Structure 1
Amino acid sequence: MLQIEIVQGDITEQDVDAIVNAANSSLSGGGGVDGAIHRRGGRAILEECRRIRAERYPDGLPTGQAVATGGGRLPARWVIHTVGPIYVRSSAPARELASCHIESLRVADELGARSVAFPAISAGIYGYPLHEAAPIALRTVREARTSVELVRFVLFDEVALRAFTLAETSSS
């Protein structure tokens, strides 16, 4: 049975099989969670991302899709990169956000990962309101068909933690 945890912390410090990166479509690092993962994980992650772009996604990773790289210097063995919707530009933000979670868990299953840490995908610079993103993320993960045993939502600040905690208690 899938266990879901909600914690405040730094996703780059999580001792899980895989962490999910809220990536940009270029897979080249950036700000927020993406930049932190690339900085802490080191150059090996960026080099794998460049190879994935060259071989599989020359136009960039599409929104809602996911790919994996090694974890570099991170405690996690793998990084699963997914591109969340930009809230104001998306015609179907809820569907795309759900797809990020489903596809990330699919990739985790392919890798054999049993524990996965997710950030609040799209809730930073991509502008997805936390009070909308949190219930979608939690419901999608809860309903997913996956072999993953533990999903930990790792939220950067108190505001995000409250939004996810409220969404979890509202759904119970």
Structure 2
Amino acid sequence: MEIQLYRGDITTLHVDAIVNAANPSLLGGGGVDGAIHEAAGPSLLAACREVRAQRYPDGIPSGIAVATKAGDLDAKWVIHTAAPNLALIKPNPKILNDCFVNSLYVAARHDAHSIAFPAIGAGAFGWEPQQVADIAHEAIDRWIDTNKHISPIHKIVLVAHTDEVQAAFERAFDLDAVQELAA
């Protein structure tokens, strides 16, 4: 299993699945959610509305992950997961851990060979980047240990959009940033 760190725009990556740090409504938002929706085009919003109509009429609960087609992105799938919003609830690292683990399971069920993660929860939802990186490391390592022989996923890309997030991922995963990433 290869784990890489990329500094840049998650929407430009050539991976099978891009994880969206989604607004629970699934209707777009700011930050990475807004960037993914904008880059993917209107078909992503239509797919999210379909998920709401069929499975989650009130939006997705924190920690749950759901897949939609990726629209105009150079990916097959967008995996949407909502972190716990610290403005609304007390910190719950278990639920944030579930965001990473459930995203990996959903990607594997969709036969993704590569997946890109942003710093889920860092930013508008109030999580400190180092806390996110440490939780991501624990979740991903445990998932790899359990699933490495049965999962189609062979590459995980951690995407940093700021110096602070990059440094946090570097510390947690003992990685150096990849400036240019080829699929």
Using structure 2 for the length normalisation, give the TM-score.
Answer: 0.89
Query: What's the counterpart of residue 149 of structure 1?
Result: 154
Deviation at 1:149, TM superposition (A): 0.9
- Between the two proteins, the alignment pairs up a number of residues equal to 169
Question: 2: CA distance between counterparts of 1:155 and 1:87?
Answer: 21
Corresponding letter in the other structure for 1:159: E
Q: Work out the CA distance in 2 between the residues paired with 1:58 and 1:19.
A: 23
Name the structure 2 match of 1:114: 113
Deviation at 1:90, TM superposition (A): 3.2
Distance 1:126 1:80 in 2: 18
Q: Which residue of 2 aligns with 1:130?
A: 129
The unaligned stretches of length 5 or more in structure 1 are: none
Q: Which secondary structure does the structure 1 equivalent of 2:137 belong to?
A: helix
The reply to whether residue 159 of structure 1 matches residue 164 of structure 2 is: yes
Deviations 1:90-120 (A, max 9, x none): 3452101100011101100110001000000
Does structure 2 conserve the Cα–Cα contact (< 8 Å) formed by 1:86 and 1:93?
no
The alpha-carbon deviation at position 8 of structure 1 amounts to 0.7
Q: 2:26 is aligned with what amino acid?
A: L
The AA in structure 2 aligned to 1:161 is Q
Name the structure 2 match of 1:104: 103
CA distance in 2, matches of 1:22, 1:42: 17
Shift of 1:88: 4.5
Single out whichever of 35-44 and 154-163 deviates more from structure 2.
154-163
2:18 alignment counterpart = 19
Residue 32 (structure 1) aligns with: 31
2:86 match: 87
How far the C-alpha of 1:131 sits from its partner, in A, is: 1.5
Matched residues in 1 for 2:113 and 2:62: separation?
24
